[in-house]
Structures are given as structure tokens and as C-alpha cells.
Structure 1
Amino acid sequence: MLFALAAFVALGVWQVKRLHWKHDLIARVDARVHAAPAALPPTARLASAAPGTLDYLRVKVTGTYAASQTALVRAATDLGTGYWAMTPLHMTDGRTVWINRGFLPAGTTVPQASKTTPSDFVSVTGLVRPTEPGGSLLQSNRPQDDRWYSRDLAALSQARHTGPAAPVFIDAQTETASAPASGKPAPVPGLTVIQFPDNHLQYALTWFAMALLSAVGIGVVWRRRA
């Protein structure tokens, strides 16, 4: 029971530390999301950054879309089920980065999605997101059938023959084009879900309650032996 008491206290303290870490993370992400857009970091930094370091960084990129290389990735949003329209952007600095242009309803085809892509110079403001290799929790990507359940950048680049692309993609918030496309319906941007589970206080209270019960149990046993 003494061991259990020590273990429960340690777990409670650990959850308190996790609570402070999570609140700090939420504050940092909130600051990034609402910050003025910055330039996309160099590819070397994108590739070497620790997981989560650049997530939700708000950036602004300019260039031209490769409409013919558009891919549709299954999506479930507040607007219903459908697809994310993923299109590579050839940036003015020579790099290529995948852009999630937004949500398209179920039934949209790749040719239809391509027609919604501006053919001229565009400026995109959005949030940096990490690649999603493999597929979803329940389904694996099937590049051979052009069926995509996650935004796996390496697989998308290989399937669409884009050449080297940035190891992150950008969830578009706004898109400004010099020659907007006429295809309909246009992708709906700005649907990035930013949500972090924050149950650490509840867990901490649970562990400390278990520690208190262990202490009471120790007291009962001690009195009986006395």
C-alpha cells in the first residue's frame, strides 16, 4: 500500500506537469494561428524540425498551381463528407509545396477539382501541417487506385510525379488569384481543426484521490495492528 501511495502521487504530479505543458502548447499554437503570416521556412528546417515545432505556423506563399496534379483525399468535416483538394504549388523561390485548397463535396471528381484551380499567379495564406503517411486509422491509401485517405505527401508526390516537394503541406485559409478559375463548386478553405484534449486536471485529481484512499487504507491497517 505504501508503494501504491507513492505511485499514485507520482502519477498525479506527472499529470500536473502535463497540464502545464498542454496549456503552454495551446497558448503557443493560438499565437501562431493568429500571427501575421510569415514566409515558409527553408526546406532543411522543415525536414529537421522536431515534431510539433512548426505545426500551425501561419505562412504566406506565392506561385502557380499544377492543376493537372490535383488529388482528392477523403475528408469528414462540419460541412459533411467529401474530399480535401490537394494541389502542388510551384513557389516563386523554386520550391514545390502541397496546398490543401479546401473541402469539396462527395461526388466531386479529380477533373472537376482541377477546373477550380487558378491557372495564373496565386497567393495563399494558411497553416503549416505535417504529412500523414500511410492512410487513416481504418483504411490505407491505395495510390494504384487513386484512393487517398490521408495526406501522405511522399506518396502523393510519387503518384503525381511532382518531383521533390516540401515535407509539409499548407492548409489554405485564403487564396488570392490574379485569374480566378471558373470551375464550380470552389473548395472551401479555412476548415483546419485545432483541438487538443485537455483532461489532465481530471486525471491528476483521480490519481491524488487514489493516493488519499491508499493513505486511509494504510491508517486503517496500522490501527488494527496496533
Structure 2
Amino acid sequence: MTDWRKRVFLNWVLLGASVVLLVCLVLLGNWQLRRLDWKTELIHAVETRAFGEPVPAPAKSQWPDVSAASHAYMRVSAEGRLLGGKSLFVKALTELGSGFWMMQPLERNNGEILWINRGFVPAAYRTSADRDDGTDRKGVIVTGLLRISEPGGTLLEKNAPEENRWYSRDTRAFSRQAGLGDTAPFFVDADHTRAPGAFPRGGLTVIDFRNNHLQYALTWYAMALLLAGGIGYVIWLSRRPPTPDDD
């Protein structure tokens, strides 16, 4: 096989691989556009739920239907009694610095139990003898945002119940730890209703969804366009008549 024929063969091999890559780039761009539609709808739904009038937190009969798609960040309220002596603390990093989320169960007037994220507390608060844990407090009305349970831990750190170390708000694991039995598969991020500097500090839920999918889609399409130009150049080379120097 002459050098020219070898070059033509190699060009066709590269052309085939490039076409496959081009298709993948276009598909990635299309996928990002679908993600853009999904994220836009999610942001609209969350903003509608989070800033609407509060509705009663789902009752036990509704728990199987609670999902992130339909309930996350919904503004809800619940009335009952905070159970003292059962608070758990989850590692947190907020605009106030590092510390913990204070998780406490609320027994509703109908006997159902759900977990309340009462808010952020600094590390010293966790071991403070005079911390406010709501012991024997009745007639409490909690208003806040419904959040779906976060089982297991985070990507980098796993919950260690046996060591009382928590990195995610896993309501099922909380309930086992506190001996509460069946509780809601969600928790409520409580609003801050106390003095501005008081702890726990509620109302710190971050409602900020990054929406860079259009940028990503344009990047994939731009790469596909550049690759298409390269493929066109290879095709032009393969169709060029051989010269005496090619033999």
C-alpha cells in the first residue's frame, strides 16, 4: 500500500471516530437543553411553594405520596409538642459559619411525629447545659419549609449513629436513634421567630438552584461545530487527487 493509500485509510478511520464523537456532542447538547427545561420548571415550582401561604404538613396517610418532585420546599405548618431530650445535631456550614443543625422531634396533636430542623447553632451550643431544647413545651406551632429526608450521609462523610455523628438529615435514622418508631419521611426547616441573635437560628434554608444548562449546551454545540469543521477538512483531504509526491 502506497503512503497515499495509507493516509486515505487513516483519514477514513479518523473520520468514523470523529462522526461518532460529533453525534455524542450533539446528544450532550440536547440533553443539557432538556435539563434546562427541567431546572426552569423546578425553580418555578420551588419558588411557588416556598413563598406561598403555609399549608398543614402532610398527615400520615399522605406520607407515601410525599416526594421531592411534588413537596420539596413547600411551605407548611405543624402544631404539637416538642419532645425534649431527643435533639440531634447535624454538621452544618452556613452563612453564620460552621456548627450544627439542631434537629428535634415534634409530636403533633394527633400523635404523629415529625422532625423539625429548629435551625443553626454554634458548636458550643451543642454541649451547653442551659440550651433551649423545648422540654415539655406544648402548643408549639412550627412554620417552615418541607424538606425530604437525606439518608445515609453526604458523598464524603457517612452518618455514624453509634458515635452520634451526623452529616445529613436522615429522619428514619434519627427516629431509630431516638426510639420513636414510625415518623414522617420528611422534616421541616423552621422559620426564625425568636430574637435576631438567638439560637437556634432558623430561616437559613438556601433556595438557590444553579441553572447553567444553557451555557453547557452551547459549549457542547460549539465543540460539535468545531469538530464538524475538522471532519469537513479531512473529507476534503481524502478527496484531493494524489500528487507524484504522495506515491
Paired residue total: 220
Residue 27 of structure 2 aligns with an amino acid whose one-letter code is A
> 1:63–1:122: 8 Å Cα contact kept in structure 2?
yes
Deviation, 1:203, is: 1.2
Structure 1 residue 160 displacement after superposition: 1.0
From 135, 142, 153, the equivalent of 1:124 is: 142
Match of 1:4 in 2: 21
Correspondence for 2:172: 154
| Equivalent of 1:24 in 38, 41, 45 | 41
Q: What's 2:111 paired with?
A: 94
Contact kept, 8 Å, 1:88 with 1:98, in 2: the verdict is: yes
**What percent of counterpart residues are identical?**
42
Tell me the equivalent position of 1:181. none
Q: Give the 3 Å change call, closer, same or farther, for CA 121–79 of structure 1 in structure 2.
A: same
The reply to whether residue 164 of structure 1 matches residue 177 of structure 2 is no
The whole-number CA distance in structure 2 between the counterparts of 1:57 and 1:173 is 13
Alpha-carbon distance between aligned partners in 1 of 2:81 and 2:127, rounded to the nearest angstrom: 18
Q: Which amino acid in structure 1 is aligned with residue 217 of structure 2?
A: A
Q: Which amino acid aligns with 2:211?
A: D
How big is each residue's C-alpha offset from its partner over 1:83-105, in whole Å with a ceiling of 9 and x where there is no partner? 11111101112210000001111
Q: Which residue does 2:218 correspond to in 1?
A: 205
| Maintained 8 Å contact 2:87/2:133 | no
- Is 1:65 paired with 2:82? yes
Amino acid at match of 2:144: G
**Is the radius of gyration larger for structure 1 or structure 2?**
2
Could you say what secondary structure the match of 1:124 adopts? strand
Where 1:75 maps in the other structure, the secondary structure is strand
Structure 1 counterpart SS, 2:152: coil
Distance change in 2, residues 1:92/1:4 (3 Å): same
CA contact (8 A) 1:123 1:175 kept: no
CA change 1:113–1:54 in 2 (3 A) is: farther
**What is the Cα deviation at residue 50 of structure 1?**
4.1
Tell me, yes or no, if the aligned pair for 2:80 and 2:141 is still in contact at 8 Å.
Answer: yes
CA distance in structure 1 between the partners assigned to 2:118 and 2:130 by the alignment: 10
Provide the aligned C-alpha RMSD in A. 2.2
Whether the 8 Å contact between 1:12 and 1:208 is mirrored in structure 2 is yes
Does 1:15 pair with 2:32? yes
| Greater Cα shift, 134-143 or 187-196 | 134-143
Q: Distance in 1 between matches of 2:187 and 2:72?
A: 10
Task: Please report the TM-score for the alignment, with normalisation by the length of structure 2.
Answer: 0.81
Worse-superposed segment, 43-52 or 55-64: 43-52
Task: After superposition, give the CA deviation of every residue in 1:124-182 in whole Å (9 maximum; x if it has no partner).
Answer: 11111111222233332222232222211111111111222101000001458xxxxxx
Q: Counting helix residues as a fraction of each chain, which structure ranks higher?
A: 2
The amino acid that maps onto 1:213 is L
**C-alpha displacement at 1:67, in angstroms?**
1.4
Report the TM-score when normalising by structure 1: 0.88
Compare the two structures and name the one with the higher strand fraction: 1
Q: Which runs of 5+ in 1 are unaligned?
A: 177-183
Structure 1: which amino acid aligns with 2:190? A
